[in-house]
Structure 1
């Protein structure tokens, strides 16, 4: 990749976050070096580029075309492994890896330690009854500074979503609402869209919290936002679940016909995706709501 192209990306991202060259360079390199990189007059070392990227909330691969991006190193592969285990609810396996890597010098950097503590708190929350301890550990992870305060990373958003999940699971819905709404605001400010599934889950979980707080109108609105987001991403991930949840919210709002229509859409999505277990669950509830709607006519 030509230095000028790399420099343009660096400058665009820096200006997007309104970070000065001096702020970006602090404790990494000189302000003059940043200026030269942006003008394409010099190529930064991989280490300096990585640090500049992290301060602006992106990985080094952001500055390269896909075919030029470096292969995942040990750290990234380990993070991916932990993410995969947590997403599959294999918390015991994940926490064993986390315990080992917290001793690993490769994970001493703030950004890596923040990630490990985040995932450790999620595992602790799900493996024990020490819910408050898990929440406190997650807040410790949240307070670790890894980049400029003006920038946002996918991990920052993920931590807020996890806090929302923990408060929701402990029925502290007002606190959950705060962290979910903050995560939604942060996601809209991301200049580089990362992994989408956490954002899908954000809309899904946020709509449920509004429902728990008996704010059916807002629950429907958030479900619609999630559905539109999924369509924009040309995906089906959580689409059936959102249609089903929207149907429930509408039913309790008194809009029974529209509610049943959304549940039918959910059935169609689950059938298309071959998710028989979800299909049968929604079908049973759909028939129940259908009977209830007839009885109240």
Structure 2
């Protein structure tokens, strides 16, 4: 058994939630016991492990895996490596990395996660059709148990990707069904893990784009405003400039005063410059130059 891996993971997850050892220990055990568990000095009883998992908002199966597998930290490195290339849209590299790594069949969540990324990469490279991609992603959701698929909000990411595939292939109504389902279920809840808000803000942005593309300008404006508000509320501003850009376009279509539109685009440009997004800086300066003089 690998107590040290379990202890390191509990410590990491606790820190991500901004929780002290004392807060984690409350109604479970003593702070000293939590300290010893995190240091890898003692085995927690199964009921203690269950209570810790509930407080950390993760499936207890994940922590149990930590006790039996040495490759957990290696899996974390694999995930970080893949997600780096995902941000770069390097889908060939993602496929190569996944194919080179043999994952134990007993590491259920990681296999679901890698299968999800593999299907997405195959679709992006046109190795499978949109229909095949959607079917395969739905099968992941169907074949997994609820506890496992909800770990690290994988179910939200998969449903968001299904919606994206529908949107990219002209099925706006189906895509909006999935976006709305996710937002209605999660956007108004309070989560300690900020990472879910990154995903939900992305869902809002995707919904905004689809509404604008089908000329539902009022809906797009409402969604852009919601995205701006959520970005401010959470401090996650990576898409705030894009929301402002879409807001400006909506205001243009709705014949708002020039001054108001100019203010929105100016704010968007400031954010693009702050975030160092050269593509968006160039786009807004070229496409909206009349408002930026």
Pairing 1:270–2:282 present = no
Q: Deviations over 1:205-262 (max 9, x none)?
A: 1111111222211111111111111112224311111111111122122225333331
C-alpha distance 224-274 of structure 1, shift in aligned 2 (>3 A): same
Instruction: From 120, 123, 143, give the equivalent of 1:122.
Output: 120
TM-score calculated relative to the size of structure 1? 0.71
C-alpha RMSD of the superposition: 3.8
Following the alignment from structure 2 to structure 1, what is the Cα–Cα distance between the partners of residues 86 and 182? 20
Following the alignment from structure 2 to structure 1, what is the Cα–Cα distance between the partners of residues 204 and 51? 32
Indicate conservation of the 8 Å contact 2:265/2:291, yes or no: no
Q: Deviations over 1:1-59 (max 9, x none)?
A: 9998546588xxxxxxxxxxxxxxxxxxxxxxxxxxxxxxx9735898389839x9526
SS at match of 2:134: helix
SS at match of 1:155: helix
SS at match of 1:73: helix
Following the alignment from structure 1 to structure 2, what is the Cα–Cα distance between the partners of residues 144 and 194? 27
Following the alignment from structure 1 to structure 2, what is the Cα–Cα distance between the partners of residues 123 and 280? 28
Indicate conservation of the 8 Å contact 1:110/1:146, yes or no: no
Describe how 1:47-62 pairs up with structure 2 within 5 A.
49=49, 53=53, 58=58
Following the alignment from structure 1 to structure 2, what is the Cα–Cα distance between the partners of residues 207 and 73? 37
Pairing 1:200–2:201 present = yes
Following the alignment from structure 2 to structure 1, what is the Cα–Cα distance between the partners of residues 222 and 235? 20
C-alpha distance 171-9 of structure 1, shift in aligned 2 (>3 A): farther
Moved segments of 4+, more than 6 Å:
1-4, 149-152
Pairing 1:160–2:159 present = yes
Which residue matches 1:232? 233
Following the alignment from structure 2 to structure 1, what is the Cα–Cα distance between the partners of residues 129 and 184? 30
Which residue matches 2:139? 140
Deviation at 1:198, TM superposition (A): 2.3
Which residue matches 1:112? 110
Following the alignment from structure 1 to structure 2, what is the Cα–Cα distance between the partners of residues 220 and 276? 25
Pairing 1:217–2:226 present = no
TM-score calculated relative to the size of structure 2? 0.71
> Which structure 1 residue ranges, 5 or more long, are not aligned?
11-41, 64-70, 292-297
Deviation at 1:282, TM superposition (A): 0.4
Describe how 1:66-85 pairs up with structure 2 within 5 A.
73-85=73-85
- Which range moved further: 226-235 or 216-225? 226-235
Following the alignment from structure 1 to structure 2, what is the Cα–Cα distance between the partners of residues 111 and 9? 29
Which residue matches 2:4? none
Following the alignment from structure 2 to structure 1, what is the Cα–Cα distance between the partners of residues 186 and 262? 31
Q: Deviations over 1:122-159 (max 9, x none)?
A: 10110116222111111111223244499675111111
C-alpha distance 290-52 of structure 1, shift in aligned 2 (>3 A): closer
Q: Deviations over 1:87-136 (max 9, x none)?
A: 211111111222344x421x533322221111111101101162221111
C-alpha distance 50-249 of structure 1, shift in aligned 2 (>3 A): farther
SS at match of 1:58: coil
- Which range moved further: 170-179 or 250-259? 250-259
Following the alignment from structure 2 to structure 1, what is the Cα–Cα distance between the partners of residues 107 and 266? 49
Following the alignment from structure 2 to structure 1, what is the Cα–Cα distance between the partners of residues 149 and 142? 14
Following the alignment from structure 1 to structure 2, what is the Cα–Cα distance between the partners of residues 214 and 277? 24
SS at match of 1:214: coil
Following the alignment from structure 2 to structure 1, what is the Cα–Cα distance between the partners of residues 21 and 255? 60
C-alpha distance 254-77 of structure 1, shift in aligned 2 (>3 A): same
> Which structure 2 residue ranges, 5 or more long, are not aligned?
1-10, 12-19, 29-41, 64-70
Following the alignment from structure 2 to structure 1, what is the Cα–Cα distance between the partners of residues 224 and 139? 31
